[in-house]
């Protein structure tokens, strides 16, 4: 290739307009938790004063807004605005960066989600690893980058490996000045007793049906015709309500109701394959299996509760026994997924027991 050709090629490239860059995603704004009442307001005011307990477990049902509460408390600790002494302003640079997980003094820790060699080898998408906990503690050992508080926020904290939870004990016992651990989880009982004894617990409240409908009308008005079904599935959880409006959950719900209408015609292996169809990664299969078990469990609870309420005080205790047993088996299937048993095997075994 001649030097002349190279020079001309460079000139042509320089004269051509650059390809239009993809539009940058709009930054997220800090979200105010919905329907948490005055008790939550006291937690926020304590955070604004810097009086928040150094260790807090934020617990509640899946999709109930625990991560929103966690983020809001972190913003309350660090927001520099004096516009409102009782709440973060939600508009300043600090609040915006915290909402987008970009603030250097707020370390947000989740289970690994990428498909790197480490994740594939260690199957660490099931757990928050010791390496992640150590990295956070190393950060907490330094002074705050921008002054003020230092926050370590663990999403799905019950997924922290046992050795990692033990490592957190030192931070909980000797947190250092203006250092806070926020542990979000739907399963606080899976935290070590030594961890639970060193934290205070903040319960995220479920939303009333009226509040849930109001949020649905604002967010997904196109699904108005299905609001009754969505609210019944959600159990007071806004996150689960929004999930219940997706096409995937509608399909799974139809599958579950079809089986409950004719349980003796259920084919467990074929049903498990249908749930996992088209998924390539194990993480995706685990998530799909959990989603199916959630829909199945919600439908079973609704039918059990409807039976109990329709009979009043006159029904025999044994009439609810099959529903209770089926619910226990779906919970056992969840535990089997935690033990990293293959999702297809877990779902098949669970459904076989339901038709036995």
Sort 338 into a burial class: Cβ within 10 Å, 0-12 / 13-18 / 19+. middle
Residues 197 and 252 in one domain: no
Residues 53 and 189 in one domain: yes
Last residue of a domain, one of 203, 232, 265: 203
**Average pLDDT for 296-306:** 85
Q: DSSP states of 178-219 as a string?
A: TEEEEEEES-GGGS-HHHHTTSEEEEPPPPPHHHHHHHHHHH
Residues 284 and 153 in one domain: no
**Average pLDDT for 45-56:** 95
Lowest mean pLDDT among 128-137, 275-284, 304-313: 304-313
Top pLDDT among 208 and 321 is at: 208
Top pLDDT among 123 and 6 is at: 123
Mean pLDDT of the residues in the chain: 85
Residues 57 and 188 in one domain: yes
Tens-digit pLDDT profile for residues 182-197: 999 999 999 999 999 9
Lowest mean pLDDT among 32-41, 121-130, 149-158: 121-130
Question: How many helices (H) and strands (E) would you count in the chain?
Answer: 16, 5
Tens-digit pLDDT profile for residues 56-71: 999 998 889 999 999 9
Residues 176 and 93 in one domain: yes
**Average pLDDT for 308-314:** 65
Residues 186 and 250 in one domain: no
pLDDT confidence of residue 319: 58
Distance (Å, whole) CA 206 – CA 240: 11
Residue 240 within any structural domain of the chain:
no
Tens-digit pLDDT profile for residues 98-146: 999 999 999 999 988 655 544 455 455 678 999 999 999 999 988 899 9
Residues 252 and 104 in one domain: no
Lowest mean pLDDT among 38-42, 192-196, 318-322: 318-322
Residues 162 and 261 in one domain: no
Give the number of domains in the chain: 2
Tens-digit pLDDT profile for residues 326-347: 889 999 999 999 888 999 999 9
Give yes or no for residue 302 having a pLDDT over 50.
yes
Last residue of a domain, one of 177, 203, 229: 203
Give yes or no for residue 30 having a pLDDT over 90.
yes
Q: What residues contact 29, with CB distance under 8 A and at least 6 apart? A: 90, 91, 96, 99
Distance (Å, whole) CA 345 – CA 225: 36
Residue 84 near residue 92 (C-beta atoms within 8 A):
no
Residues 72 and 194 in one domain: yes
Q: What residues contact 168, with CB distance under 8 A and at least 6 apart? A: 133, 137, 160, 181, 195
Specify the long-range contacts of residues 132-136, CB closer than 8 Å, at least 24 apart. Answer: 132/164, 133/109, 133/160, 133/161, 133/164, 133/167, 133/168, 134/167, 136/107, 136/109
Which residue segment(s) compose the domain that 190 sits in?
37-203
Residue 258 within any structural domain of the chain:
yes
Residue 237 within any structural domain of the chain:
no
Give yes or no for residue 23 having a pLDDT over 60.
no
Residues 164 and 266 in one domain: no
Among 87, 263, 52, 290, which Cα is nearest to 178's? 52
Residue 107 sits in a domain whose CATH number is: 3.40.50.300
């Amino acid at each position: 290739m001649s030097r002349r050709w190279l020079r001309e090629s460079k000139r042509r490239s320089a004269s051509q307009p650059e390809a239009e860059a993809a539009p940058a995603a709009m930054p997220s704004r800090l979200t105010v938790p919905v329907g948490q009442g005055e008790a939550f307001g006291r937690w926020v005011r304590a955070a604004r004063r810097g009086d928040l307990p150094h260790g807090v477990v934020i617990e509640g049902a899946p999709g109930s807004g625990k991560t929103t509460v966690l983020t809001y408390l972190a913003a309350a600790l660090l927001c520099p605005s004096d516009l409102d002494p009782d709440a973060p302003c939600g508009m300043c640079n600090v609040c915006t960066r915290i909402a987008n997980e970009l603030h250097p003094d707020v370390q947000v820790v989740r289970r690994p989600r990428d498909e790197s060699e480490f994740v594939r080898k260690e199957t660490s998408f099931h757990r928050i690893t010791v390496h992640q906990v150590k990295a956070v503690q190393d950060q907490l050992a330094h002074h705050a980058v921008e002054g003020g508080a230092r926050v370590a926020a663990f999403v799905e904290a019950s997924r922290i490996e046992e050795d990692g939870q033990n490592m957190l004990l030192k931070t909980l016992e000797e947190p250092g000045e203006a250092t806070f651990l926020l542990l979000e989880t739907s399963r606080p009982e899976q935290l070590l007793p030594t961890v639970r004894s060193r934290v205070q617990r903040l319960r995220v409240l479920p939303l009333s049906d009226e509040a849930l409908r109001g949020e649905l009308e604002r967010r997904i008005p196109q699904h108005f015709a299905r609001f009754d079904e969505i609210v019944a599935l959600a159990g007071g959880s806004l996150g689960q309500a929004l999930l219940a409006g997706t096409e995937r959950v509608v399909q799974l719900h139809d599958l579950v109701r079809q089986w409950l209408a004719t349980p003796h015609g259920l084919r467990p292996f074929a049903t498990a394959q249908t749930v996992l169809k088209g998924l390539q990664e194990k993480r995706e299969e685990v998530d799909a299996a959990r989603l199916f078990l959630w829909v199945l469990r919600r439908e079973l609870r609704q039918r059990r509760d409807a039976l109990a309420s329709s009979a009043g005080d006159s029904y025999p205790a044994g009439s609810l026994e099959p529903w209770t047993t089926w619910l226990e088996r779906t919970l056992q299937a969840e535990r089997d997924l935690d033990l990293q048993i293959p999702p297809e095997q877990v779902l098949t075994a669970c459904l076989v027991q339901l038709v036995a």
